[in-house]
Amino acid sequence: MSELTTIDEVNEFFDSAATFLKLDSGTRDLLKNPWRELKVSIPITMDSGELKVFSGYRVQHNAARGPYKGGVRYHPEADINEVESLASLMTWKTALVEIPFGGAKGGVQCNPLELSNTELNRITRRYTHNISHILGVNRDIPAPDLGTNAQTMAWMMDAYGQTYGYTPGIVTGKPVQLGGSVGRESATGLGVFLLLDQIATDLNIDVSKTTLAIQGSGNVGLWTAFFAFKRGFKIIAISDVNGGIYSSSGINIDELKNYLNENKSIQNFPDSDPITNADLLELECDFLIPAAIDRVINEKNVANIKTNYIIEAANHPITPEADKILLDKNVTIVPDILANAGGVIVSYFEWTQNLYQHKWTEERISNELQTIIINAFTQVKELSYKENIPYRKAAFILGIAKVVEASKLRGFLDK
């Protein structure tokens, strides 16, 4: 793997767009550097009685356009560098889709698969208490990400409320019973699917003959698979952290969902063959959808990637080095800051509903999500065609330009 850290890699994408926008070095410094970074210790008594100290982070990257917004990740490799890079991606994502938020991200370095529910509850409460002085409904609003879910958000909301009083708008992605929004759980996957379907429509292709390989079957991967299956796409492979399943005739995602509920794993799903995560990424397919972790397509495997389209459902799944090679091979890449924006768009709807103590219907949520994400995609496509640049560069240019504009209006930049 390259010597670059994740934040160096995200900043490589940033710099390419900043050069197009002719941004000077001071402006680049203002936009690249997080406005605030917080590292906290999280001491927890484990179920065994042993004391363990976990590390937690919250990086507030930029709030020129609105309160900080971004998920909280529980993962063994979550560190300040990764969290900073993800916070930066949130800034460009919220700007690209024009919702009134800045960018932030949080993380706790832990393996949620090895922790009991009571341990996770304690970690979440202590983490929330320790970062609560920089959170706020008009300041910074967390959400779920890798390794966290609606239950985690319910614990965060409760822990925050113990000090500050009932505040449902402090997190998004909560259970609907606690003020969450209908459609939030499926929103990121729905957004990925809407872009997939738009490309299929633009290309006028027969979806029943269009093959998809999806890495990850958590929140984003499984919902993407669910919507794509309903539309008639053929999902030939899907995976989790332990490996994947493959079927050349297509996997029935309704049955897989039931199987997953019963078995808590996708392994040994009937009428499918096992496949490793590495082999899944190298399958011959029309669309490859990484929906798990960062940097899975890199200089080691890029030569073996055999797809025409990659939709980045995960954040930063392709290193800049691999990105260049794929573009040379004419692979079309729908970048993370557009592809997975459905989650933060519906988080914005949830936050708005909490502020006004109002409830929207699922139909309204889906329609407004579709309008926003397809409009952003249209802008990306138009700039990409006009300037003959890849979608990623176009998306970064559009997002960064909006943050520059807001920074000028606030008086951070003189010219």
Count of other CB atoms within 10 angstroms of residue 374: 15
The piece of 28-36, 139-147, 359-367, 394-402 that touches ligand NAD (CB under 6 A) is 139-147
145 lies in the site for ligand NAD, by CB under 6 A = yes
Judged by CB under 6 A, which of 106, 107, 335, 343 binds ligand NAD? Answer: 343
Catalytic site residue from 69, 93, 105, 234: 105
Q: Does 147 participate in binding ligand NAD (rule CB under 6 A)? A: yes
Among residues 85, 128, 152, 219, which is the contact residue for ligand NAD, using CB under 6 A? 219
* Contact with ligand NAD (CB under 6 A) among 27, 128, 188, 354: 188
- Collapsing DSSP states into helix, strand and coil, what is residue 234? strand
CB of 389 to ligand NAD, least distance (A): 24
Q: What is the pattern of x (binds ligand NAD, CB under 6 A) and - over residues 303-342?
A: ----------xxx------------------------x--
| DSSP letter for each residue of 347-412 | HHHHHHHHHHT----HHHHHHHHHHHHHHHHHHHHHHHHHHT--HHHHHHHHHHHHHHHHHHHHTS
In the bound complex, what is the minimum distance in angstroms from residue 161's beta carbon to ligand NAD?
23
Strand order in the sheet with 68-75: 36-45, 51-62, 103-109, 68-75, 140-144
Q: How far apart are the first and last CA of the chain?
A: 40
Per CB under 6 A, does 220 bind ligand NAD? yes
Q: According to CB under 6 A, which one of 27, 121, 211, 277 is a site residue for ligand NAD?
A: 277
Say if residue 262 is exposed, middle or buried (CB neighbours under 10 Å; 0-12, 13-18, 19+): exposed
- 164 within 8 A of 139, measured Cβ to Cβ: no
Q: What is the DSSP letter of 256?
A: H
39 noted as active-site residue: no
Q: Tell me which stretch binds ligand NAD (CB under 6 A): 43-51, 164-172, 218-226, 257-265.
A: 218-226
d(CA 363, CA 371): 12
Position 403, amino acid? V
Residues at the site binding ligand NAD, with contacts judged by CB under 6 A? 144-147, 188, 215-221, 239-241, 277, 291-293, 313-315, 340, 343
Catalytic residues: 105
